[in-house]
Every structure is written in C-alpha cells, then in structure tokens.
A and B are shown apart, each in its own frame.
Chain A
C-alpha cells in the first residue's frame, strides 16, 4: 500500500505527509508497546540471563 492508495485523490504532498504520519504513529505505538513488554518481562529476562 502506498500513500496514493491510502488517500486516493489527495495531492502528492498530502499523501506524503499521510505516509509520514502513519509511520510516526506505528513507531510511537511500537515504542510504547515494546516498552510495556520490556517493563513487564525485562526483569525476569535479565534474572534468567544472570542465572545461565
């Protein structure tokens, strides 16, 4: 899927900005999501690594 398919009929600049907005939203969600996992699973994982 490209920016043009995302917003059919939009101007090239708006389509490009939409792509950037989608990627920014994905990056923010992934950062927060993996951050949550890190907080929940990180201490257990580190503890396991230290016991190896």
Chain B
C-alpha cells in the first residue's frame, strides 16, 4: 500500500498524525488547513507547486468532511456561502492581478510577506482582545451584546460590530439561516475582500473568511465556522482543479493526510457543541499572533539567507497549532465530564 502511495511507512504515519491535528483545528475553527500544511510540505522538501496543490486538495477533502459534520448540526448557511463565493472568485482574480502588477515593480515578495504578517497579527490581536474583554465582562454579566432576531427574540452570539453593520439596511437585504438579515452589499463586499486577500497572499483564506463572516456579516460563531468550511470546500475544489490540471497534486500525501484529518475534523466539529468557544478563542488569537511571528521569521530567513529561521518558523507554527489542538481536546473532555456532573441535577 505504501508503495502505491509513494510514501515510506514512517512518513505515512507522520502525515496521518499531522492530518489529525489539522483536522481538529479545521473542524473546530473552520480554518487552518493550507497555512499549516503548505509550510510542512515545503520543509519536507516537496517542490512549491506540489506543496501548494496537494495542500489545497487536502483542504478540499477535509472541508467536505467537516462541512458534512457541521451540516448535521445545522451550522452551515449554504445561501450565504454561495453568495460569498461569487465575491470570492472576483476577489481572487483581482488579488492575483495585484500581485502580477507588484511583480512588474519588483516588490511583490516584500509587500505580500509584510501584508501576511500584518494581517495575521491584526486578526490575532482582534480575537485575543475580544476574548479578554469577554472574560472581564463575565463577572459583570454577559460579554456580548444581544442582537434581536426577526421573531423578536434575542440572540447573544453576535459581536457588537456585526450588530451595528446589520443595522444599516442597504437593499437588497437577504435573510440568513438564523433569521437575521444582512445586506447583499455587505456579503458581496466580505466575499470580495476575502477573495482579494486569498488571491493576493496565495492562501486558502479561512483565517480571514471565518472572522469576516462572524464580525462583519454577523452570524453565530458556530454558523461562521460551518459556512467558512463550505467556502473552503468551494475554493478548495477550484484550487484542486487548477493544480490538478498542472499534474502537481501528490495523491499519496493527500490520502495520508485525509486519513488523519477525517477523524480530527469529526472530533473538532463535534467539540464545537461541547466546548465553550470563549475558553478557546484566546488561545486561537495567541496562535495567530505566533503564526504572524512565524511568517515574519520565514520572510527573514529569505532576506537574511539564514535557513535556521525557517526551521524556527516551522516549529513555532506547528508547535502553537499542536498546543491549541491539545487545548480543544482537553476542554472537550472536561465538557463531557461536566455534562455528567450536571446531568443528575437536571
């Protein structure tokens, strides 16, 4: 079997374990596929097109599994995902053209690298700040502002900024699966923005897509994760087709990674029903900040011609992801045990 896949048993096992970690991450947060897998494959010596193509195909497969799992829990807004995809496609085209334009000026690598570092740091800081504010507010009551649904009831899982954006009713308006309403302009703008970032940075964009759905369109965090996964499925399919045409997808690598991620994605997706997101969001924010540092080190390795920075960058990236994965599993086990304690009194 290993001969058919073109992998040694050791490498196969490594990919299965790595896939499991990425799957947990992907299932829980709706992101984290390509920005973890691509550097790992590059470090292992795979050529860049093979690393990127195989990573995108793996993201597609994992997104299919995780979306199915979130679908079972009713956490995927297909209409929102479909509408966003139109904007994403246009944005990717604009982003890639921007990169080609910068390449003509000879500053593409520097600008793209700096933008990646700044963006990861900004999103990481946003999540960390939000999680810390929620913790402070917990003593005084509910940390999030309450938004009113169309039926008059209140939903407490929408950030204040999203509530404010939703209050500007610019037609045409569309109804989201949870009953709230959002302007088509907001949805298209978010899709276009996410696509622009994806095309510009050459990444899947889940780390932008999920926060954008949550903070700008204004869904619950669980729906943002599910809908982001659906977006990842569609963009992953496009990426897999594009790289598949070039014949650079290593199916052996994809299969081994999928074997682990299919289990991890089930556990990660299932954990969203048990684990309080507030317990993990702060770690997620810190992980993005560390990822920003890792990417900065990777850029420094190129500029200073010091490969050791590349290794440190990889260890930092995988180490922080492994830590957050362990935190999710730990909180999942705790939540299951707490459920038992509260069950007899319920």
Residues of chain A having any CB pair with chain B under 8 Å: 1-4, 6, 12-13, 15-20, 22-24, 26-28, 30-31, 33-35, 38, 46, 49-50, 52
Contacts and interface: CB of A to CB of B under 8 A. Distances in A.
Contact of B247 (A12, A22, A34, A50): A12
Interface residues of B, number: 37
A23 B68 contact: no
B65 A1 contact: no
B244 A15 contact: yes
A26 B246 contact: no
Contacts of B337: 49-50, 52
Contacts, number: 95
Interface stretch (B85-93, B123-131, B147-155, B249-257): B249-257
Contact of A23 (B4, B240, B266, B339): B240
Contacts of A33: 262
Contacts of A13: 241, 245
B206 interface: no
Contact of B237 (A20, A22, A28): A20
Given A16-B240, A17-B241, A23-B258, A31 B65 contact: yes
A19 B243 CA distance: 10
A1 B61 contact: no
B60 A23 contact: yes
12 contacts: A6-B251, A12-B247, A15-B244, A20-B241, A23-B240, A31-B262, A34-B263, A35-B266, A49-B336, A50-B336, A50-B339, A52-B337
**Secondary structure of the A side of the interface?**
helix
Given A23-B61, A50-B339, A52-B337, A1 B245 contact: no
A16 B238 CA distance: 10
Contact of A15 (B6, B68, B247): B247
B301 interface: no
Contacts of A28: 64
Contacts of A18: 244
Contacts of B6: 1
Nearest to B237: A20
Interface in B93-139: none
B68 A2 contact: no
B262 A3 contact: no
Interface string B316-346: 0000000000000000010011011000000
A2 B247 contact: yes
Interface in B29-74: 57, 60-62, 64-65, 68-69
Contacts of A19: 57, 240, 244, 249, 251
A5 to B, nearest CB: 8
Contact of A27 (B241, B258, B340): B258
Nearest to A11: B245
Contacts of B340: 50
A50 B263 CA distance: 21
Contact of A3 (B247, B259, B336): B247
B61 A16 contact: no
B17 interface: no
